[in-house]
């Protein structure tokens, strides 16, 4: 990868921890980008060896349990030599179409950031229906930072997952999709969603609605205003599986909607349990 042509003026940042099942495939798709940086927080598997084999920069990160987490830490401390930064996860794989679209767009735009679209895979199958995944993960260096949430080890998450970049100007959209496919299996899917649920339960309590919660997206506002209601998990299932036609994805579509419904029940129950302890 060291000898690749410098085509796209973007630094790709990939936060990792024990991603030996995914990181090689992720890196193999990134030859056209000017710079690739992997940020590792103490991997104990073969992740670092695989990264070394691709010749990309490896940065070590150690989390102290508070602010900043991995992505903001990079934005604050790393010296970028490209005008753009793209945050990818190790289980996100770009296509040639995606690279070509970014190459065209970033050279001739005044927009500061872009929403990205994803194709989720579950049980080895691409999900064509259901609730679509979008992230604001491509933006000009210095134009955005991930929202600051002062937490005290709410979970084991040392990377911004539900926090999103705060971009003060209008954002565009990249139409070409990224494949989101975790090869670590269903057990890891369940494990990480348990951590996500713990984090979201704590985050809900921390929101100061008197300030308007202007940092939340529309989808987040709806979720956090209703996640404590008994009907919300069932609403999500009905919306994803029926309204958004998730049933057309067959058994994988049903399983994904079921696990996401379980996830929202878990958030609600964690908050109820926390309330009883007070």
Predicted confidence (pLDDT) per residue in 85-130, tens digit: 999 999 999 999 999 999 999 988 899 999 999 999 999 999 999 9
Domain limits at 220? 186-277
Burial annotation 85-124 (CB, 10 A radius, 16+ → b, else e): bbbbbbbbbbeeebbeebeebbeeeebbbbebbbbbbbee
Q: Which residues pair with 126 in a beta bridge?
A: 121
Residue 94 belongs to domain with CATH number: 3.90.550.10
Q: Which of these three, 141, 161, 180, is where a domain ends?
A: 180
203, 162 in Cβ contact below 8 A? yes
- Can you give the pTM of this predicted structure? 0.93
User: Are residues 269 and 192 located together in one domain of the fold?
Assistant: yes
- The 3-state DSSP composition of the chain as helix, strand, coil percent (nearest 5) reads 40, 25, 40
pLDDT in the model for residue 27: 98
User: Are residues 156 and 73 located together in one domain of the fold?
Assistant: yes
User: Are residues 164 and 197 located together in one domain of the fold?
Assistant: no
Task: List, as own/partner pairs, every contact residues 147-151 make where C-beta atoms lie below 8 angstroms and the sequence separation is at least 24, other chains included.
Answer: 147/215, 148/67, 148/68, 148/72, 149/67, 149/203, 149/206, 150/66, 150/67, 151/65, 151/66, 151/67, 151/199, 151/202, 151/203, 151/206
User: Are residues 205 and 154 located together in one domain of the fold?
Assistant: no
pLDDT in the model for residue 1: 45
pLDDT in the model for residue 211: 63
User: Are residues 149 and 114 located together in one domain of the fold?
Assistant: yes
Helix (H) or strand (E) holding 145: strand 144-146
Segment 228-247 shows an average pLDDT of 97
Q: Which of these three, 136, 160, 180, is where a domain ends?
A: 180
User: Are residues 190 and 122 located together in one domain of the fold?
Assistant: no
Q: Which of these three, 154, 180, 206, is where a domain ends?
A: 180
User: Are residues 146 and 265 located together in one domain of the fold?
Assistant: no
**Over the stretch 9-46, which tens digit does the pLDDT of each residue have?**
999 999 999 999 999 999 999 999 999 999 999 999 99
């Amino acid at each position: 990868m060291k000898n690749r042509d410098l085509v796209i003026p973007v630094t790709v940042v990939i936060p990792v921890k024990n991603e030996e099942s995914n990181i090689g495939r992720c890196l193999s798709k990134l030859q056209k980008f000017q710079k690739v940086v992997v940020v590792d927080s103490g991997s104990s598997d073969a992740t670092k060896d695989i990264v070394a084999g691709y010749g990309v920069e490896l940065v070590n990160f150690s989390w102290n349990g508070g602010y900043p987490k991995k992505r903001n830490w990079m934005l604050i401390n790393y010296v970028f030599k490209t005008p753009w930064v793209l945050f990818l996860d190790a289980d996100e794989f770009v296509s040639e179409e995606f690279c070509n679209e970014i190459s065209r767009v970033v050279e001739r735009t005044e927009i500061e950031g872009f929403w990205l679209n994803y194709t989720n895979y579950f049980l080895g199958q691409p999900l064509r229906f259901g609730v679509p995944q979008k992230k604001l993960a491509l933006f000009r260096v210095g134009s955005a930072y991930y929202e600051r949430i002062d937490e005290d080890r709410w979970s084991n998450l040392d990377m911004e997952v539900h926090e999103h970049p705060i971009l003060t100007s209008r954002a565009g959209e990249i139409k070409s999709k990224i494949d989101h496919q975790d090869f670590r299996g269903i057990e890891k899917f369940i494990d990480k969603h348990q951590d996500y649920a713990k984090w979201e339960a704590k985050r809900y309590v921390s929101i100061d609605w008197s300030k308007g919660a202007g940092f939340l997206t529309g989808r987040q506002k709806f979720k956090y205003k209703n996640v404590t209601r008994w009907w919300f998990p069932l609403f999500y299932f009905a919306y994803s599986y029926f309204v958004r036609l998730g049933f057309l994805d067959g058994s994988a579509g049903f399983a994904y909607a079921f696990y996401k419904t379980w996830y929202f029940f878990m958030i609600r129950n964690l908050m109820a349990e926390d309330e009883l302890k007070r």
